[in-house]
């Protein structure tokens, strides 16, 4: 366990090994507004997406390997113990959440439900159950799997949240941004399933590719707003939508072609989303 762990944190850098642990890392997160403790269940750097902005070096296609639950619990309890002590003393940071995230899609883990159970146990045994939020950061593609849904119900029982990636709602946009052919209709059904089980927020990373924002490309904004509008019309109980932009460099070959959008750009989109009756948060 690294001592003085807050000195390793920065919003512009999220090294997964900054604590010297296998599954647990810590980041200073804009979206959380404090320290986010990350659980990386994809140490093999495997994902079913290949987002142009992905910060995983050596990203590969695939799924999460089997998880050593005992080790995860031990690491998390050790970190939470240190963090609680730091919070009570001089450290200016506070733990805002535990994020199930990391170097790939976490719901590709076979025993996803057991992961959530283990997190609940670690929080409970550290006296932090109900005091630290648990969020699942997901690309949303696998949320109708039985064990994932079981995990989402468990997550809801500990007041957890799902942060559901939606950067484009068109087939062409999904292919362009994520290098994957997932139908938008599947993402909609998965969003519906997730929001029926657990508080779900849509998270949209807005960025420019060769100078043009993805949602400024032909039909992209209309399609995105139509997707969210349909969610509203069908009464999906969404928490709302979070809009943010690039903060850290991509580690994909397309990196030189990407740039952030401005706060004004995000606010303009926020106004459109708000017009649908959805709560919107902007993190420039
Ligand atoms: S879903 Fe996350 S881990 Fe997977 S490619 Fe996209 S940014 Fe990387």
CA of 89 to the centre of ligand 1 (A): 36
Residues 6 or more apart whose Cβ sits within 8 Å of residue 23: 39, 40, 41, 43, 67, 68, 71, 72, 75, 76
Averaged pLDDT, 2-30: 62
Tell me what pLDDT residue 47 has.
98
CA 43 to chain centre: 16
User: Tens digit of pLDDT for each residue in 66-102?
Assistant: 999 999 999 999 888 866 665 565 555 577 899 999 8
Measured between alpha carbons, how far is 87 from 84 in angstroms, rounded to an integer?
Answer: 5
CA of 92 to the centre of ligand 1 (A): 30
Q: At what angle do helices 171-178 and 184-197 cross, to 10 degrees?
A: 80
Question: What CATH number is attached to the domain comprising 77?
Answer: 3.20.20.70
Cα 112 to Cα 67, 151, 192, 199: the distances in Å are 9, 6, 19, 17
Of all protein residues, the one whose alpha carbon is nearest to atom 3 of ligand 1 is 104
Cα 17 to Cα 5, 133, 248: the distances in Å are 11, 22, 17
- 3 state DSSP class of 26: strand
User: Tens digit of pLDDT for each residue in 109-147?
Assistant: 999 999 999 999 999 998 889 988 999 999 999 999 999
Of 115, 75, 81, the residue nearest 95 (C-alpha): 81
Which DSSP helix (H) or strand (E) runs through 221?
Answer: helix 220-233
pLDDT greater than 80 at residue 27: yes
Residue whose CB lies within 8 A of the most ligand 1 atoms, among 42, 45, 51, for a mutation test = 51
- Per-residue confidence band for 192, with pLDDT thresholds at 50, 70 and 90: very high
CB-ligand 1 contact for 38 (6 Å cutoff): no
Measured between alpha carbons, how far is 204 from 251 in angstroms, rounded to an integer?
Answer: 19
CA of 54 to the centre of ligand 1 (A): 5
- Per-residue confidence band for 1, with pLDDT thresholds at 50, 70 and 90: very low
CB-ligand 1 contact for 102 (6 Å cutoff): no
Query: Which DSSP string do the residues of 95-118 spell out, in sequence order?
Result: EEEEEEESSS-GGG-TTHHHHHHH
Tell me what pLDDT residue 2 has.
38
Percent of the residues in the chain that have a pLDDT greater than 90, as a whole number: 77
Tell me what pLDDT residue 104 has.
97
Do 29 and 14 contact (CB within 8 A), yes or no? Answer: no
pLDDT greater than 70 at residue 262: yes
The pair of three-digit structure tokens given for residue 62, joined into one six-digit string: 């695939």
Measured between alpha carbons, how far is 209 from 207 in angstroms, rounded to an integer?
Answer: 7
Of all protein residues, the one whose alpha carbon is nearest to atom 8 of ligand 1 is 54
Q: Which domain holds residue 178?
A: 5-282
* Total number of domains constituting the chain: 1
Tell me what pLDDT residue 17 has.
58
pLDDT greater than 70 at residue 4: no
Tell me what pLDDT residue 88 has.
61
Tell me what pLDDT residue 280 has.
98
Of all protein residues, the one whose alpha carbon is nearest to atom 5 of ligand 1 is 50
Measured between alpha carbons, how far is 56 from 113 in angstroms, rounded to an integer?
Answer: 25
Residue whose CB lies within 8 A of the most ligand 1 atoms, among 43, 47, 107, 167, for a mutation test = 47
Length of the chain: 284
Atom of ligand 1 nearest to the CA of 102: 3
Do 133 and 97 contact (CB within 8 A), yes or no? Answer: yes
Q: At what angle do helices 146-157 and 184-197 cross, to 10 degrees?
A: 40
CB-ligand 1 contact for 54 (6 Å cutoff): yes
Of 176, 42, 146, the residue nearest 103 (C-alpha): 42
Of all protein residues, the one whose alpha carbon is nearest to atom 2 of ligand 1 is 104
Residue whose CB lies within 8 A of the most ligand 1 atoms, among 56, 99, 162, 252, for a mutation test = 56
Q: What is the mean pLDDT of the chain?
A: 90
């Amino acid at each position: 366990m690294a001592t003085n762990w807050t000195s390793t944190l920065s919003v512009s850098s999220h090294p997964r090994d900054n604590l010297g642990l296998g599954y647990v890392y810590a980041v200073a997160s804009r979206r959380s507004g404090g320290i986010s403790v990350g659980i990386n269940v994809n140490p093999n750097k495997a994902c079913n997406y290949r987002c142009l902005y992905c910060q995983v070096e050596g990203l590969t296609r695939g799924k999460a390997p089997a998880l050593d639950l005992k080790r995860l619990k031990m690491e998390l309890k050790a970190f939470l113990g240190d963090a609680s002590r730091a919070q009570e003393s001089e450290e200016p940071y506070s733990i805002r959440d535990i994020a199930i995230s990391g170097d790939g899609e976490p719901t590709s883990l076979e025993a996803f439900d057991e992961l959530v159970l283990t997190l609940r146990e670690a929080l409970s045994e550290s006296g932090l159950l109900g005091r630290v939020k648990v969020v699942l950061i997901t690309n949303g593609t696998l949320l109708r799997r039985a064990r994932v849904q079981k995990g989402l119900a468990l997550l809801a029982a500990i007041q957890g949240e799902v942060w559901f990636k939606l950067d484009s709602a068109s087939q062409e946009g999904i292919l362009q941004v994520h290098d994957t052919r997932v139908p938008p209709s599947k993402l909609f059904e998965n969003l519906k399933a997730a929001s029926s089980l657990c508080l779900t927020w849509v998270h949209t990373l807005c960025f420019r590719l060769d100078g043009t924002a993805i949602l400024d490309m032909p039909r992209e904004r209309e399609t995105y707003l139509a997707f969210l509008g349909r969610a509203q019309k069908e009464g999906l109980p969404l928490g709302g939508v979070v809009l943010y932009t690039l903060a850290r460099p991509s580690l994909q070959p397309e990196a030189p072609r990407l740039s952030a959008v401005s706060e004004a750009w995000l606010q303009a989109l926020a106004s459109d989303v708000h017009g649908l009756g959805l709560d919107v948060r902007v993190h420039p």
